[in-house]
Structure 1
Amino acid sequence: MSFDATFRTNRYDLVFVPFTGIDNHHHNVTFAGSLLASETAESYKWLLQSFLKAFGVAPKVVVTDQDAAMKIAIRDVFPDTRHRLCMWHIMIKVSEKVGTELSQDEVFKDDICAVVWTDALEPTQFETQWCDLMIKYNLTSNSWLSDMYNLRSDWIPAYYRHEHMSGLMRTTSRSESENHFFGQLTNTKLSLVEFLSHFDTAMESQRFKRSKRDHDTRYTQPAMKTNYELELEAVKIYTRGIFFDVQEEIRLACKNCMCRREEEVGDSIKFYILQVNLPGLHEVLFTPKDMVIKCSCNRYEQYGLLCRHAFCVLRLCGIKEFPKKYVMGRWTRDVVPKKTKVSSFDQNAAGNQVERASSIVREIMTATEHIVNRLVTNMDLLSLYRDQVIESKLKVDSADLPAESLDKNARLANILHADQPCSSSSATILPPSGIRNKGCGSNKRLKSFREVSSSRISKKTKTRGCLICGGHGHNSRTCKMKTTVADSQKSS
């Protein structure tokens, strides 16, 4: 799970904090959201305690930026959760901390990224290569890099290699994406009730996109890229987006992987797999009796999907049935139970009929989908059923159903599930006072030191005039008049 705070989400400058995870299509899903009056450790503790109360279980890994208040809250409320720092937020600061010369050195950038971002290194290998890098570029005395090295177990992938599903999230980019998504549907002029209504609209949009991906998974057929039986099985098991990842691994297993040698290790066989155009060998240990397969690249442990090296071994051993123990439920097409998407504002003033209506609608949708799936291969019966549905639709459209009309105050009371107070009663609930949080009041995002410095330089360049001609946009060294005078002096 990843969570990050926004700012300026409503007229009271309350901070909006969405909790973001990954669904079975490998897309963003919002678990929950909260409005905070302050970004203190106590506020985040209350928020995480509320999350724990609602879900009943703490996440295994939480990814945040280097916010100190978040760190304290996670440590106290989720003591067994691994807190991971966003790699992007750390790496974006490197160019500011190493000086102007190294920040423009492309070779240095490639070298440090090759050490930091890869998940192929063990912790000892990372430590050795990091120290060599610091010595090579004379950065051993850089205090900021030393501090980041001391925190290496909180953000370097080498220290997460053997943790289950640790490769899914390295940065808070999914939270940033969700913040942008919600920002498109909200603005700073909203009241709290209006913001809640817009949030519900955003959730309905997210659910609709997910339903569309579910539909594409069930009713469309992707093109096969190999003749391997496991690819045909994979398309029936996984959601469409996940299948494409599995399909690519199977394709590379058939086209680019080969076995250099194999040896028996007890009841198991160890294969040494070479991938074309890549150095080194991957060790794959396979036990045919129990269908247990383990690759040195740890892709299944990190992402929950078998790697190309494992598929290569399965193909060499003649395995034609997908190993069920390596089908992770979270990536399958039917992992999420079918539910009716009911808005939190669908409850009308007549009574509490939402749950009953939801149950009936759910039964109708389930029955309809079952009928379509059974008739999809029989065009005559499918056409007949379609005609019956269209006839029922026309009857409903022509029926004189009473339309509910509510004025603005009644609609707000309906949303809040509360009656309007009498005019004689005094209002005791007041709007929250102005909140001062990070970034509020400026109407702009916070800029880094490098951005501020570069903007100052550009402003100076625009306002400073040339000492020779008095013009703008250049200086005395590049002035055309200076060149003209110098040429005339040479000719004379």
Structure 2
Amino acid sequence: MMFVPFTGVDNHYRNVTLGAAIIGNETAETYSWLLNAFRQAFGRAPPVIVTDQDPAMRKVIQDTWPESRHRLCMWHIMDKLTTKFFISEYVVGANLCNSTDFKKRLCGIVWTDALLPKQFETEWGVILADFYLFCNPNCMLVEFLGHFDSAIEAQRHKHRKNDHDTRHTNPDIFAKEFVLEQQAANIYIRTIFFDAQLEIQTAIHKCGIGQWDEREDNFVNFYVKNFSQTCTTFFQVIMWQLDMTISCSCNRNEQFGLLCVHIFCVLRFLDIRQFPERYIMRRWTREVVPNSAPGAILGINESDDRYRQVNGVVRGITRSAESLINRLVHNFDALCAFRDHVVQYQSTTNQAVVNAPPRSRRDRFAEITGYTQETPVTVRMLKTPRFKGMGKPTRMKSKREIAISQSGKKWVMNVAIANAGA
């Protein structure tokens, strides 16, 4: 079967698995069902989707998600080169690239406009044959799901660690005279702040404004030179004086939602003392993913003031508890005393609160989503399709089965020889 993960980018600018599916074939009908299921789960199609060059997927995206921009990701294909090639059953991509001319030959047919598609396929086949490349399809479904669960748990652990580092550690501030750096540390989660800090440091030490001119329509053009780059051109930063709207010709803010080194250079030149709020994308901020949302669990509408009050109190309690634990972690006796205090309060609360009978999973989801209608689920039998990379259609046999099979063949051969002799 084919495993199809949906991968996005979380608020720490790391890859995160949004969902996954195991499908029985790679037909347009199956992909259409899958994309519709994704839209149903998330409420909308993604604005951009990046896939490999699969004809069925390309057609289905055009028909099912017409509002999405579909692109093929060559960078990821080349970046994963050293980990995606197998010889026999061992990953040897790094050695293959370092000790042979494999990467040079591959780049020679990939990064060129001189080859027609048919010629490319021919050259590609020659490379696969010369280096004995193929994939290992012998992973059992149960084994695969175990690996997948481990990978997802590691992903969640890394996300929790990034959240913890953002809340409870303080980064070093290098440009204390440039107040925007300290403000960025208070606004952004840690990984995004390090990115902004690098841009700020480059703006201070390696950038300069060549000239600027003020236009009649309240626009000011700044021409910024970045000496850390090899290009000799100036980047144009345009600022509208009435509302401090600013943009740069490098389009970094439009692409990533983060200010570029050239804009920071202009802000420092103008002695701007407040980080421009209009250019703070919420997905990169510290509070974009709260620790918990009990307001949703209680069934309170998000627009209700009570929802914000409950969530605010819970987040405050959680932050205080996490901060206290981090301070007491080196004092074992004090940590145990805090634990005993929490356990005692928990037992007091359990005696005072009358627990309702546990609700079913269906009831909990119905209360959260507000959807109670039962939906019929149709489970269709898997077909036995053939798709790329599937390998041999036969199942793996044990040594006992192979021995029995071979002994049977020998017995039939002996009978045939005896009959021929007779």
- Normalising TM by the smaller chain, what interval? 0.5 to 0.7
Q: 2:235 aligns with which of 275, 279, 282?
A: 282
AA in 1 matched with 2:191: G
What residue number does 1:70 align with?
A: 57
2-structure distance, mates of 1:27, 1:46: 28
Q: 1:143 aligns with which of 116, 128, 133?
A: 116
Q: 2:36 aligns with which of 41, 49, 55?
A: 49
What residue number does 2:142 align with?
A: 190
The answer on 1:259 being equivalent to 2:209 is: yes
The structure showing larger relative contact order (alpha-carbon pairs under 8 Å, at least 6 residues apart) is 1
What residue number does 2:401 align with?
A: none
The answer on 1:226 being equivalent to 2:187 is: no
Q: 2:198 aligns with which of 248, 273, 283?
A: 248
The answer on 1:213 being equivalent to 2:200 is: no
Q: Deviations over 1:74-131 (max 9, x none)?
A: 0010011100012147779xxxxxxxxxx9998x979x99xx8xxxxxxxxxxxxxxx
Aligned 8 A contact 2:325 2:335 in 1: no
What is the Cα deviation at residue 442 of structure 1? 4.9
Q: Deviations over 1:49-87 (max 9, x none)?
A: 111111111100000011001101100100111000121
What residue number does 2:320 align with?
A: 371
Question: Counterparts in 2 of 1:277-426, with a 5 A limit?
Answer: 278=230, 279-339=232-292, 366=315, 368-372=317-321, 388-392=337-341
Name the SS for the 2:142 alignment partner.
coil
Aligned 8 A contact 1:64 1:84 in 2: yes
Aligned 8 A contact 1:254 1:312 in 2: yes
Structure 1 pair 105/384, CA: closer, same or farther in 2 (3 Å)? closer
Aligned 8 A contact 1:65 1:89 in 2: no
Aligned 8 A contact 1:63 1:83 in 2: yes
Structure 1 pair 49/335, CA: closer, same or farther in 2 (3 Å)? same
Structure 1 pair 218/90, CA: closer, same or farther in 2 (3 Å)? closer
Can you give the 5+ residue segments of structure 1 that lack an aligned partner in the other structure?
A: 1-13, 93-102, 117-132, 148-182, 342-354, 399-413, 417-428, 444-492
1-structure distance, mates of 2:20, 2:341: 40
2-structure distance, mates of 1:201, 1:340: 26
What residue number does 1:484 align with?
A: none
Structure 1 pair 188/260, CA: closer, same or farther in 2 (3 Å)? same
Question: TM-score, normalization: structure 1?
Answer: 0.54
AA in 2 matched with 1:78: W
What is the Cα deviation at residue 430 of structure 1? 10
1-structure distance, mates of 2:195, 2:213: 30
The answer on 1:18 being equivalent to 2:5 is: yes
2-structure distance, mates of 1:255, 1:91: 33
Structure 1 pair 37/302, CA: closer, same or farther in 2 (3 Å)? same
Q: 1:237 aligns with which of 187, 211, 215?
A: 187
2-structure distance, mates of 1:91, 1:241: 25
Name the SS for the 1:217 alignment partner.
helix
What is the Cα deviation at residue 333 of structure 1? 1.5
What residue number does 2:124 align with?
A: none
Structure 1 pair 442/397, CA: closer, same or farther in 2 (3 Å)? farther
AA in 1 matched with 2:140: T
Q: Deviations over 1:356-408 (max 9, x none)?
A: 8xx9xx999635324348979999xx99995653214676999xxxxxxxxxx
Count matched residues: 313
Q: Which runs of 4+ in 1 moved over 4 A?
A: 89-92, 103-106, 197-202, 362-365, 372-379, 382-388, 393-398, 429-435
AA in 1 matched with 2:184: A
AA in 1 matched with 2:189: T
What is the Cα deviation at residue 305 of structure 1? 0.6
Structure 1 pair 331/287, CA: closer, same or farther in 2 (3 Å)? same
Q: 2:66 aligns with which of 66, 75, 79?
A: 79
What residue number does 1:439 align with?
A: 389
1-structure distance, mates of 2:380, 2:221: 70
Structure 1 pair 365/386, CA: closer, same or farther in 2 (3 Å)? farther
Aligned 8 A contact 1:259 1:272 in 2: yes
What residue number does 1:273 align with?
A: 224
Structure 1 pair 373/441, CA: closer, same or farther in 2 (3 Å)? closer
What is the Cα deviation at residue 289 of structure 1? 2.6
Q: Deviations over 1:20-55 (max 9, x none)?
A: 000010111111111100011111000001111111
AA in 2 matched with 1:68: P
What residue number does 1:99 align with?
A: none
What is the Cα deviation at residue 314 of structure 1? 0.4
Can you give the 5+ residue segments of structure 2 that lack an aligned partner in the other structure?
A: 80-100, 121-135, 299-306, 348-359, 363-378, 394-422
1-structure distance, mates of 2:312, 2:212: 55
Q: CA RMSD in A?
A: 4.6
What is the Cα deviation at residue 328 of structure 1? 0.6
Q: Deviations over 1:266-305 (max 9, x none)?
A: 3121111111153111111112331111111111111111
Question: Counterparts in 2 of 1:154-173, with a 5 A limit?
Answer: none
